[in-house]
């Protein structure tokens, strides 16, 4: 900092001497205020940093709790949705089976009316044919 040199020229009991005295006191008060503000400012700044760190920690904990709570709620909702989806899927499969059976029965009736035998009719006829073939084979051996 620049160094100021003041000459001490004392003029007793004069207005100029009083003004110089007051000016010097104001100057010294300003320097003292600047010095104190610098010292206290650093201390105050450190206190603000500590207070900010405390708020940050508390805020971080609150945010973690809120995130955990949100994740728990989302997982709970997801589980509930999966249960509902499984139930709907089960009901859908039951109804689809009923529709397929009804469709198969109607198609079989329509084919039967036209005169086309069903798979069951063909299987029954095949069994009877095998029995007749076996019977013919036994009869032909006996003769």
Q: Using CA atoms, how far apart are residues 81 and 92, in angstroms rounded to an integer? A: 16
Residues 70-100 pLDDT 10s:
899 999 999 999 999 999 999 999 999 999 9
Residue 9 in this model has a pLDDT that exceeds 80: no
Residues 19-40 pLDDT 10s:
888 888 888 888 888 788 777 7
Burial (CB count within 10 angstroms: exposed 0-12, middle 13-18, buried 19+), residue 133: exposed
Burial (CB count within 10 angstroms: exposed 0-12, middle 13-18, buried 19+), residue 41: exposed
Using DSSP, state whether 117 is helix, strand or coil.
Answer: coil
Residue 8 in this model has a pLDDT that exceeds 70: no
Predicted confidence at residue 100, as pLDDT, reads: 92
Structure tokens at 16: 């100029």
Mean pLDDT calculated for residue range 124-128 = 92
């Amino acid at each position: 900092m620049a160094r100021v040199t003041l000459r001490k020229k004392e003029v007793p009991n004069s207005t100029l001497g009083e003004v110089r005295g007051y000016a010097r006191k104001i100057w010294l008060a300003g320097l003292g205020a600047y010095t104190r503000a610098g010292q206290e400012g650093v201390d105050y700044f450190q206190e603000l940093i500590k207070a900010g760190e405390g708020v940050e920690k508390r805020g971080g904990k609150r945010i973690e709790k809120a995130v955990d709570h949100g994740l728990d709620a989302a997982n709970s909702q997801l589980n509930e949705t999966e249960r509902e989806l499984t139930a709907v899927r089960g009901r859908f499969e039951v109804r689809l089976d009923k529709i397929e059976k009804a469709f198969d029965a109607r198609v079989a009736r329509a084919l039967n009316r036209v005169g086309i035998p069903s798979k069951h009719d063909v299987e029954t006829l095949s069994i009877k044919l095998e029995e007749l073939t076996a019977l013919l084979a036994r009869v032909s051996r006996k003769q």
